[in-house]
């Protein structure tokens, strides 16, 4: 089993410190939930781990081997916050490029595959396309999966199905998932990390989310 280690991430925009004391460890078989207020740097952190954003400093390693570009090879897969699939190509064709052949039978049995496989990215609804994209990334070959807001835009019944799929895939993969639907994150995650003022707080009790000002008391 491999371990992804993210440490000492520092990110600034125009001299404004966004991330300064960030450390996350994720083992294969583990689901890490990442929470935080708007603009705290969740998407930036996932982009840094994947190698799309160059910070002031980063240490990202798998089994202590430094990873400069997570997108190279099959070590990581990433679901960006916004739709990413190109138009004009059937979704079945795109999925074949991404989905692990071992997972292909399970992937093609998903209702969202049946619904979208013969369409292009322009044809499904926004939520349907989001669900398809998320399932594709989760069923990819990568050992570690980074998901930026997979629950946003999908309906509750799809969210339940997605959580089941995430749990099933986490038997073989490490997953870091962020979303503002914190109840789905709390439900699906083995461990929860809060990004607060540029630092990671490791949450041991949901009360911590109130203490750090992420949840108001009435949400308990």
Ligand X SMILES: Nc1ncnc2c1ncn2[C@@H]1O[C@H](COP(=O)(O)OP(=O)(O)OP(=O)(O)O)[C@@H](O)[C@H]1O
* Footprint of ligand X (CB under 6 A): 13, 18, 36, 38-44
Minimal distance in Å, beta carbon 76 to ligand X? Answer: 18
Task: Name the minimum Å distance from CB 99 to ligand X.
Answer: 27
CA distances to 95, 154, 158 from 165, in Å: 16, 14, 10
By beta-carbon proximity to ligand X, the closer residue of 11 and 142 is 11
Task: CB nearer to ligand X: give 36 or 124.
Answer: 36
Q: How far is the CB of 9 from ligand X (least distance, A)?
A: 12
Q: Compute the least distance from the CB of residue 219 to ligand X, in Å.
A: 17
Q: Are 61 and 72 in contact (CB under 8 A)?
A: no
Residue 29 or residue 80: which is nearer to ligand X going by CB? Answer: 80
The answer to whether 43 touches 84, Cβ cutoff 8 Å, is: no
Q: Which of 72, 73, 51, 71 is nearest to 6 (CA)?
A: 51
User: Which CB sits closer to ligand X, 94 or 188?
Assistant: 188
8 Å CB contact between 107 and 99: yes
């Amino acid at each position: 089993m491999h371990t992804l280690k993210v440490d000492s991430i520092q990110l600034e925009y125009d001299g404004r410190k966004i991330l300064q004391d960030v450390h996350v460890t994720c083992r294969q078989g583990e689901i890490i939930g990442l929470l935080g207020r708007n603009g705290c740097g969740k998407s930036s952190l996932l982009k840094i781990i994947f190698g799309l954003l160059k910070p002031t400093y980063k240490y990202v390693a798998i089994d202590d081997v430094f990873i400069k570009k997570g997108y190279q090879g099959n070590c990581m897969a990433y679901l960006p916050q916004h739709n990413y699939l190109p138009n004009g190509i059937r979704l079945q064709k795109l999925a074949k490029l991404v989905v692990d052949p071992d997972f292909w039978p399970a992937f093609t049995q998903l209702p969202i595959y049946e619904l979208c496989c013969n369409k292009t990215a322009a044809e499904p609804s926004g939520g349907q396309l989001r669900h398809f994209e998320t399932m594709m990334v989760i069923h990819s070959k990568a050992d570690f999966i980074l998901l930026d807001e997979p629950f946003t835009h999908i309906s509750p019944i799809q969210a339940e199905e997605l959580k089941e799929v995430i749990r099933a895939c986490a038997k073989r993969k490490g997953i870091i998932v962020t979303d503002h639907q914190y109840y789905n994150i709390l439900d699906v995650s083995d461990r929860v990390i809060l990004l607060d003022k540029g630092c990671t707080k490791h949450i041991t009790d949901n009360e911590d989310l109130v203490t750090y000002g992420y949840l108001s008391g009435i949400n308990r």
